Structure 1
């Protein structure tokens, strides 16, 4: 597949509503606490991944939820800690994903996922994605979690893309390493965040609508932020 044009994506948060998934899944085991636990979970996940880069993502989910519950003083039954991994394959896909990814495929782009997830978990999500993907690189494959470079390096060495644009919602996990590696990139800024460094981002969209044009712009010299 060397010499082909690729758009790579983060999956959860970019294509799949990660925040909805965490919040509603936490509600199943701690009714009324989903919103609090979502924000606490978000504060702990990266630390868990950084401490144990080889940890399976289903175990990252469980440990991060345990720490979130401890921080928020919410009781969590030991056998409920796996709820996020159990529900992850059912987390909803954002509504514009099908049309925008279809437009990329029709324009001749190959699509890949670079995800901080396990192979078995992302396989469940792929059943719900409305457009097929040509390649997937997981944390299990890379042996590390983004924002480390391992996903990107493994994708480059395996598929040898002639043209490559990375698209993702997370500034920290995806835009920063893509910038560090000199990749054209599009930031899907679903949360209306302000970047710590404007140099890190190129095309910025509030969701995936208009992605085909943004991918083209990201490839142009001096593409605007």
Structure 2
């Protein structure tokens, strides 16, 4: 699991400690040399993972900064739409969930189906 964030390295180190989630990689805007919605952070994350784009899923809260960019790159996308916002542009996410818990259930279900 990779975190792609529009923050700097020093800020995300402290955030990672407080949220208690262990990421395989963290790609900051500072490392990528650009902020989302630029594709640079997405490309850097994919390079670090060494996976084909067909195996990459991107989940995010920001439609413009996360879902549009990931869709442009051909990734499977999950829009975590906590506020019930209307889709702002003519791009469609692969999956839509209303909260992080539902995202966890979705991912667990997919993991189980992949094992079968």
* Residue 116 of structure 1 pairs with residue 15 of structure 2: no
Larger Rg: 1
Q: Quick check: 1:203–1:214 contact (8 Å CA) kept in 2?
A: no
Structure 2 match to 1:136: 26
1:200 to 92, 96, 103: 92
Structure 1 match to 2:64: 172
Secondary structure, in 3 states, of the residue corresponding to 2:101? coil
- 1:135-188 deviation digits (Å, cap 9, x = unpaired): 100000000000010011111122212521111000011000001001001100
Report the aligned-residue RMSD. Answer: 2.0
How far has the Cα of 1:193 moved from its partner?
A: 0.8
Q: Which runs of 4+ in 1 moved over 3 A?
A: none
Q: Quick check: 2:59–2:78 contact (8 Å CA) kept in 1?
A: yes
How far has the Cα of 1:196 moved from its partner?
A: 2.5
Question: Which has the larger strand fraction?
Answer: 2
How far has the Cα of 1:213 moved from its partner?
A: 4.3
Structure 1: runs of 5+ lacking an equivalent: 1-110, 218-225
Report how many residues are paired: 108
Q: Which has the higher contact order (CA 8 A, sep 6+)?
A: 1
- Using the size of structure 1 for normalisation, the TM-score is 0.45
Taking the aligned partners of 2:59 and 2:19, their CA distance within structure 1 comes to 16
